Structure 1
């Protein structure tokens, strides 16, 4: 299959320096609201890249569950591959790709665990089935069959059939604290608009990058 000629022009909109909010978190919020209001499926889906001590990067899709001026939060099993790599090398990169808007947002920074209080608050907001799923999945580890996974789920349903499901001690959130945030807007002739915010003391420096 020849895919070399698969291409299209980017014609949604431009991005200029005067359009940007001096605060990258407010700029992200503006774009995120526009992605949500455009009816995109899962506008909070992002690619998360991590790298352990072996130097081999890995990437997967996760869902953003909170953001503010402290950073960008997602949740996972603390025994998963991403979590093991973060614990060994607490840095990560995030990529939001809103294809229908010809936009990307790239985020790089250090990673820290969120508080147990934050993890518990989010865990309680999840559907009951998702709470049970967190208990029965040894994430990223080999599992012999789907049947065993479903049996573990049914076992947890029986165990927690009465009352609230507790937060597993092996599950919770991570916060990516950005050092760099780039806003990418596709343009005609591949002359894309790219602006990078880089942390400088208590503020942010903004510069245009070549496409």
Structure 2
């Protein structure tokens, strides 16, 4: 196989290489927007179940996008913790870069993409921290190794010696084992109260199906939905 490089180097041109990669391969699921439920979380759970049954790996993994105090956007992948009529939940250390972003600008966008089904879901809205008890319960439900990583702290700080990381992790795990009820105070469960949720189903002929839910009503508990152009 030819390597990837720039034009004129004797290797495959990157643009040509990317255009040659397959997209929307295999059989794709059907999606009838007219039969969609009234609330977006119901459709999300239906699609999530379908993704699990189709063998999609880590379908609860999503991209969280935030905006810092200086207006710089940032994105990273993490796991969905829960979804119900109140919103979509994820957890993070409030002292981490994403936690600081949310303190400065409490809004976020979530995106899910399941390539085996060529389905994408986009969620946007304001973000609020859950009560401390809910955050503590989420922390204690994590595996010991995950809790130890959070106890060790220093997320996103420069790492000059991997041995320092190994030692800090060992000490943190020992502490977690000694103190099974230990909770990192900064650990926070966040809820995105969606204002807009879009479901996107790809089509091999690029006649993609897009269904958008928008929150409405005096109390903000109702939804309208409609199709969008591809």
User: When the two structures are superposed, what TM-score results if normalisation uses the length of structure 2?
Assistant: 0.86
Give per-residue Cα distances to partners, 1:127-175, cap 9 Å, x unaligned: 1111111100321222222211111112223334424141111112111
1:56-71 correspondence runs (5 A): 56-71=72-87
Please give the secondary structure, in 2, of the residue aligned with 1:190.
coil
1:151-166 correspondence runs (5 A): 151-166=167-182
Aligned length: 211
1:37-52 correspondence runs (5 A): 37-52=53-68
Residue 87, structure 1, aligned to residue 106, structure 2 = no
CA contact (8 A) 2:83 2:89 kept: yes
Cα 1:177–1:5 change in 2 (3 A) is same
Cα 1:127–1:80 change in 2 (3 A) is same
Give per-residue Cα distances to partners, 1:3-53, cap 9 Å, x unaligned: 133343465134233221111111111111111122211110001111112
Q: Which residue is equivalent to 2:10?
A: none
Cα 1:7–1:166 change in 2 (3 A) is same
CA contact (8 A) 2:68 2:102 kept: yes
Q: Which residue is equivalent to 1:120?
A: 136
For 2:115 and 2:102, the matched residues in 1 are separated by: 28
Cα 1:210–1:62 change in 2 (3 A) is same
Q: Which residue is equivalent to 1:5?
A: 20
Cα distance, 1:69 vs. partner? 0.8
Q: Which residue is equivalent to 1:203?
A: 222
For 2:40 and 2:190, the matched residues in 1 are separated by: 20
CA contact (8 A) 1:109 1:180 kept: yes
Give per-residue Cα distances to partners, 1:87-129, cap 9 Å, x unaligned: 1000100000011111010000000111211112222221111
For 1:76 and 1:141, the matched residues in 2 are separated by: 16
Task: Identify the structure with bigger relative contact order (alpha carbons < 8 Å, sequence gap 6+).
Answer: 1
Of structures 1 and 2, the larger Rg is shown by 2
Structure 1 residues not aligned, in runs of 5+: none
CA contact (8 A) 1:132 1:165 kept: no
CA contact (8 A) 2:144 2:176 kept: no
Structure 2 residues not aligned, in runs of 5+: 1-13
Range 151-160 or range 92-101, more displaced: 151-160
Range 42-51 or range 166-175, more displaced: 166-175
For 1:76 and 1:187, the matched residues in 2 are separated by: 35
CA contact (8 A) 1:14 1:193 kept: no
For 2:81 and 2:128, the matched residues in 1 are separated by: 15
2:43 is aligned, of 10, 13, 27, to 27
